[in-house]
């Protein structure tokens, strides 16, 4: 029998060829490129999240600039030091300019620190606000819309990409602003000292600009690809780790590792391609700087010879040139960062621009007291990308308050789709779904969901205590209420048998608990919500006979007196219903039969 060895030596070499048998059909990986957005447009879109702190941006620029001005003063004093102390050998005059230079350096350092801290403060607040807004938008989307994206890629967009954007709108603005103003400041000082030399130095400016454009465009294109591939790496990682158990049982560990390796290698190639441009740009600038500097020194030597310029003046000019190149260097370093920010911005805007298929109407109202009548009138619904073929068609039923309606039918006939319609994760293409007399589309979403509890097939649990998991449906519930709900759900006994009882922390998806126990926690949560309408989507699926039997008694108590849509394949459970709706009854999935009383 062949056994896999880990770590596989094949992957210790990062550019090794991955296992070809594991090649994906899509060589570009599981994440599509975001639509391109022009940097100016991206800046305009993200500006609202900076607006609140916008006054701090000029404040930071001012602090950095005043700090930089301190450096101008130091250079000026250095010129005096040479011309008035060193050249005439008057060492008694040393202390005054030296003391002023030292004090200026300290003040300058403090101002630059304050400026940099201010930028970080603005940037971090921007990141926090933007991430919160994007997450709020994503939470407003129905699960189907969100699930169309790779979860790992969404997380990459919400972390790395959002952090990179701040370079475009916060740090970038201040850095570019202060660098440009420093350039002007040092440039003005250089012109004041010798306009001829300053003009000579400026001769290289167009070449700087042209090389900036050349490198900037190429870096942006490569950053786009790298961001996409970065998202693919987290997507593949997330999926691979989530499915580690199935990979193990199917002996597919090698394939999973190869997938991670392949996407990682694609990212590596992308990053190296960026590094070739981003890494070449500063040395190219250095060469241009040296050429500019040599021109200046050549002309300066002639000026010195003609007696137009003092030695101190020439040295001070050279120092200004060095200072001039420092902001130019900073701008050049901003280029790859701005490229990354632009590419990251496109990916975050794509998330923000994902429309919700379910929109609350402007004049939507609350449900008021809910009796619990639920009806569908000639409903037709399908999913996008299915050539307009409906999943449900001509669906009509009307059940009174407190009725339990079992919904049955073959797999794929649209039972879960009906559940989505009733909580408005989906709207019908035609026809009407009603709660009491209200068309669901006229109701506020929060109000509708206050009245309806959906217990999905696999009840999700949070990484939190059992108490918090039960109270999730009503966080204000007291411990007594939580315990009562657990008792009603037949969960109290096994909870108190755990070492820490209700304070026991459970892992994601109920890790530590059996399927039946997880389901009973979810039922306790539904008891606590105590809504007039219940939708139970296959509540016993995946449970063995004994666990299913343990769940049926609390489910009966939960359903008593509430309008319940009970989606099930389980004949035993269906018998607890007052009526049954067979979907796909005529042998055609999606075409419903009528509601029949349970015999």
| CB-facing half-sphere around the CA of 386: CA atoms within 13 A | 8
Residue whose tokens read 């400016």: 205
Q: How far apart are CA 595 and CA 384, in angstroms?
A: 28
Q: Which stretch binds ligand ATP (CB under 6 A): 23-31, 306-314, 345-353, 409-417?
A: 409-417
Binding-site string for ligand ATP from residue 388 to residue 407, where x marks contact by CB under 6 A and - marks none: ---x----------------
Smallest distance, ligand ATP to C-beta of residue 537, A? 7
Nearer to ligand ATP, 343 or 421 (CB): 421
Smallest distance, ligand ATP to C-beta of residue 247, A? 24
Smallest distance, ligand ATP to C-beta of residue 585, A? 13
Instruction: Show contacts with ligand ATP in window 312-331 (CB under 6 A).
Output: none
Smallest distance, ligand ATP to C-beta of residue 548, A? 16
Smallest distance, ligand ATP to C-beta of residue 574, A? 13
Q: Which stretch binds ligand ATP (CB under 6 A): 296-304, 326-334, 351-359, 414-422?
A: 414-422
Smallest distance, ligand ATP to C-beta of residue 414, A? 4
Q: Which stretch binds ligand ATP (CB under 6 A): 36-44, 78-86, 372-380, 411-419?
A: 411-419
Nearer to ligand ATP, 164 or 426 (CB): 426
Q: Which stretch binds ligand ATP (CB under 6 A): 327-335, 408-416, 504-512, 513-521?
A: 408-416
Instruction: Show contacts with ligand ATP in window 138-157 (CB under 6 A).
Output: 144
Binding-site string for ligand ATP from residue 62 to residue 81, where x marks contact by CB under 6 A and - marks none: --------------------
592 binds ligand ATP (CB under 6 A): no
Which residue from 3, 12, 249, 411 is in contact with ligand ATP, where contact means CB under 6 A?
411
Please give the helix or strand (H or E) that residue 402 lies within, else none: none
Asked if residue 554 lies in contact with residue 520, where contact means CB atoms within 8 angstroms, the answer is yes
Nearer to ligand ATP, 216 or 414 (CB): 414
Instruction: Show contacts with ligand ATP in window 550-589 (CB under 6 A).
Output: none
Going by C-alpha positions, the residue among 30, 8, 32 that lies closest to residue 19 is 8
Smallest distance, ligand ATP to C-beta of residue 144, A? 4
DSSP per residue, 26-89: -TT-S-PPPPP--HHHHHHHHTHHHHTTTTHHHHHHHHHHHHHHHHHHHHHHHHHIIIIIITTT
Give 129: exposed, middle or buried? Use CB within 10 Å, 0-12, 13-18, 19+. middle
Nearer to ligand ATP, 35 or 412 (CB): 412
Binding-site string for ligand ATP from residue 491 to residue 530, where x marks contact by CB under 6 A and - marks none: ----------------------------------------
Beta-carbon contacts of residue 485 (< 8 Å; ≥ 6 apart): 470, 477, 524, 525, 527, 528
The pair of structure tokens assigned to 259 is 């997938």
Compute and round to an integer the Cα radius of gyration of the chain.
34
383 binds ligand ATP (CB under 6 A): yes
- CA dihedral (31, 32, 38, 41) in degrees, to 10, reads -70
Asked if residue 512 lies in contact with residue 430, where contact means CB atoms within 8 angstroms, the answer is no
Q: Which stretch binds ligand ATP (CB under 6 A): 75-83, 415-423, 490-498, 500-508?
A: 415-423
Tell me, letter by letter, the H, E, C secondary structure of 419-488: HHHHCCCCCCCEEEEEECCEEHHHECHHHHHHHEEEECCCCCCCCEEHHHHHHHHCCCCCHHHHHHHHHH
Which residue from 118, 167, 367, 417 is in contact with ligand ATP, where contact means CB under 6 A?
417
Expressed in angstroms, the distance from the first to the final Cα of the chain is 55
429 binds ligand ATP (CB under 6 A): no
Which residue from 182, 263, 416, 519 is in contact with ligand ATP, where contact means CB under 6 A?
416
6 binds ligand ATP (CB under 6 A): no
Beta-strand pair 430-435/374-382: antiparallel
Going by C-alpha positions, the residue among 353, 306, 263, 319 that lies closest to residue 45 is 353
Residue whose tokens read 């420092």: 326
Nearer to ligand ATP, 357 or 402 (CB): 357
Smallest distance, ligand ATP to C-beta of residue 590, A? 8
414 binds ligand ATP (CB under 6 A): yes
Q: What angle do CA 285, 287, 292 make, to 5 degrees?
A: 90
Smallest distance, ligand ATP to C-beta of residue 482, A? 31
DSSP per residue, 72-129: HHHHHHHHHIIIIIITTT-GGGSHHHHHHHHHHHHHHHHHHHHHHHHHHHHHHHHHHH
User: Which strands form 563-567's sheet, in the order they lie side by side?
Assistant: 452-455, 533-537, 563-567, 404-408, 579-582, 595-597
Nearer to ligand ATP, 344 or 391 (CB): 391
Q: How far apart are CA 170 and CA 176, in angstroms?
A: 10
DSSP state of 365: B
Nearer to ligand ATP, 417 or 531 (CB): 417
Q: Which stretch binds ligand ATP (CB under 6 A): 14-22, 371-379, 412-420, 525-533?
A: 412-420
Asked if residue 574 lies in contact with residue 539, where contact means CB atoms within 8 angstroms, the answer is no
Beta strands, E only, 460-527: 464-465, 505-506
Asked if residue 232 lies in contact with residue 24, where contact means CB atoms within 8 angstroms, the answer is no
Nearer to ligand ATP, 413 or 440 (CB): 413
Instruction: Show contacts with ligand ATP in window 165-194 (CB under 6 A).
Output: none
Which residue from 415, 492, 525, 562 is in contact with ligand ATP, where contact means CB under 6 A?
415
Instruction: Show contacts with ligand ATP in window 434-493 (CB under 6 A).
Output: none
Asked if residue 516 lies in contact with residue 543, where contact means CB atoms within 8 angstroms, the answer is yes
Asked if residue 266 lies in contact with residue 29, where contact means CB atoms within 8 angstroms, the answer is yes
Smallest distance, ligand ATP to C-beta of residue 532, A? 24
Instruction: Show contacts with ligand ATP in window 215-274 (CB under 6 A).
Output: none
Site of interaction with ligand ATP (CB under 6 A): 144, 383, 391, 411-417
């Amino acid at each position: 029998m062949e056994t896999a060895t880990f770590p596989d030596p094949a992957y210790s070499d990062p550019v090794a060829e991955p296992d070809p048998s594991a090649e994906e059909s899509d060589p570009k990986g599981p994440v599509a490129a975001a639509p391109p957005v022009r940097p100016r447009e991206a800046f305009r879109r993200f500006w609202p999240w900076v607006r609140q702190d916008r006054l701090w941006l000029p404040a930071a620029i001012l602090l950095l600039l005043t700090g930089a001005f301190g450096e101008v003063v130091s250079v000026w004093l250095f010129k005096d030091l040479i011309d008035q102390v060193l050249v005439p050998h008057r060492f008694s005059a040393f202390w005054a300019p030296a003391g002023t230079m030292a004090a200026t350096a300290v003040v300058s350092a403090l101002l630059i620190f304050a400026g940099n801290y201010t930028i970080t403060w603005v940037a971090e607040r921007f990141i926090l606000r933007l991430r919160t807004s994007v997450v709020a938008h994503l939470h407003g989307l129905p699960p189907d819309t969100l699930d169309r994206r790779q979860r790992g890629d969404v997380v990459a967009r919400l972390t790395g990409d959002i952090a990179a954007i701040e370079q475009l709108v916060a740090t970038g603005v201040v850095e570019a602003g202060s660098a440009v103003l420093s350039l002007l400041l040092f440039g003005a000082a250089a012109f004041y000292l010798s306009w001829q030399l300053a003009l000579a130095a400026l001769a290289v400016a167009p070449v700087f600009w042209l090389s900036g454009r050349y490198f900037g465009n190429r870096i942006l294109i490569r950053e786009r690809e790298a961001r996409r591939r970065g998202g693919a790496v987290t997507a593949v990682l997330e999926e691979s780790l989530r499915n580690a158990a199935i990979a193990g049982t199917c002996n597919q560990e090698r394939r999973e590792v190869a997938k991670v390796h392949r996407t990682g290698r694609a990212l590596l190639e992308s990053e190296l391609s960026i590094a070739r441009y981003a890494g070449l740009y500063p040395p190219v600038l250095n060469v241009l700087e040296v050429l500019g500097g040599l021109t200046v020194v050549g002309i300066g030597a002639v000026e010195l010879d003609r007696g137009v310029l003092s030695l101190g003046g020439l040295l001070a000019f050279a120092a200004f040139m060095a200072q001039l190149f420092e902001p130019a260097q900073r701008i050049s370093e901003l280029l790859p960062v701005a490229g990354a920010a632009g590419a990251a911005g496109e990916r975050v805007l794509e998330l923000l621009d994902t429309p919700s298929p379910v929109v609350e109407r402007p004049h939507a109202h609350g449900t008021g007291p809910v009796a619990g009548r639920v009806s569908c009138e000639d409903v037709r619904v399908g999913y996008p990308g299915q050539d307009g073929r409906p999943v449900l068609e001509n669906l009509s039923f009307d059940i009174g308050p407190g009725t339990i309606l079992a919904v049955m039918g073959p797999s794929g006939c649209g039972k879960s789709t009906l559940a989505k319609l009733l909580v408005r994760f989906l709207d019908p293409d035609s026809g009407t779904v009603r709660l009491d007399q209200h068309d669901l589309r006229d109701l506020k979403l929060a109000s509708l969901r206050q009245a309806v509890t959906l217990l999905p097939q696999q009840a999700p649990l949070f990484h939190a205590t059992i108490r918090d998991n039960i109270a999730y449906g009503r966080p204000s519930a007291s411990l007594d209420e939580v315990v009562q709900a657990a008792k009603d759900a037949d969960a109290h006994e096994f909870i108190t048998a755990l070492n820490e009882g209700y304070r026991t922390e459970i892992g994601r998806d109920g890790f530590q608990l059996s399927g039946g126990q997880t389901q009973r926690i979810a039922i306790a949560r539904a008891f606590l919500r105590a809504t007039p309408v219940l939708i139970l989507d296959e509540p016993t699926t995946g449970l063995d006979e004994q666990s299913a039997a343990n769940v049926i008694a609390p489910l009966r108590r939960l359903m008593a007196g509430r309008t319940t849509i009970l989606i099930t394949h389980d004949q035993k459970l269906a018998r607890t219903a007052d009526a049954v709706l067979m979907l796909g009854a005529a042998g055609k999935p999606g075409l419903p039969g009528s509601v029949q009383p349970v015999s």
